[in-house]
Amino acid sequence: MEMLKNKVALVTGAGSGIGRAIALKFAEQGASVVVSDMNEDGGGQTVAMIHERNGIASFFKSNVSVASDGEALVNESVSKFGALHIAVNNAGIGGVIAPIAEYPIDAWEKVISINLSGVFFGMRAQIPKILGFGGGAIVNISSILGKVGFSGSSAYVAAKHGVIGLTQNAALEYAAKGIRINSVGPGFVKTPMVEKTMTPEALKELIALHPIGRLGEASEVAELVLWLCSDKASFVNGAYYAVDGGYLAR
């Protein structure tokens, strides 16, 4: 049975990595998916992959750090597929690696604008639409670094901690109105963002931080997000779920 049959979902940052895996999983489970990304080529590839599997999807270019783009994205979802029931705020960047006293101000502002303000702008636009179609679910992608620190990544860590708090607050405000809002904290996952920025030696050290002995797969994160957005998670709200191979248990 398709877990998201007759649902309309949007996924930001769906042109690659975790966002793509979520979009593919949603479509596989019956949802009509609006794939959003700044990368038109990547987003188009995700849509093509969904179509190859007989799924329903369309692409819409959107910059999550621009509030008006968040509004345009939800309007596109309704215009294209007639409703909005599910949103996944996944778009994010890693940012500069530097100690706090040397962290560039412009780099800080860019990470916060995309990774934290982008989630706020997204929910601010998504919630009224989802309410208008009878309720649904939102998942915000945080990180294991939303719970602990990571030397050199102050902006990313601050933003991802903020995503968890923002998620909890939104969950309190809209639980009684019919929207469940949760966050997911992936460990380090094999995505282009990780693979492009890591030397082989650094990658080995990173793997060693995960007791399970490997990095995660984007599809493993997608399975958790699917469950949270489905009726199977009907009593789950305001929660943070790590999917991290034991990283946080160390």
- Of 103, 156, 174, 247, which one is the catalytic site residue? 156
CA max distance for the chain: 53
Is residue 174 flagged as an active site residue? Answer: no
Please tell me the distance from the alpha carbon of residue 186 to that of residue 169, in angstroms, as a whole number. Answer: 21
Pairing between strand 86-89 and 56-61?
unpaired
Reading the block at residue 244, the tokens are 């991290």
Give the number of residues written for the chain: 250
Please tell me the distance from the alpha carbon of residue 242 to that of residue 179, in angstroms, as a whole number. Answer: 21
Reading the block at residue 172, the tokens are 């309190």
Please tell me the distance from the alpha carbon of residue 6 to that of residue 82, in angstroms, as a whole number. Answer: 11
Task: Quickly tell me which residue has 């649904």 as its tokens.
Answer: 136
Catalytic residues: 156
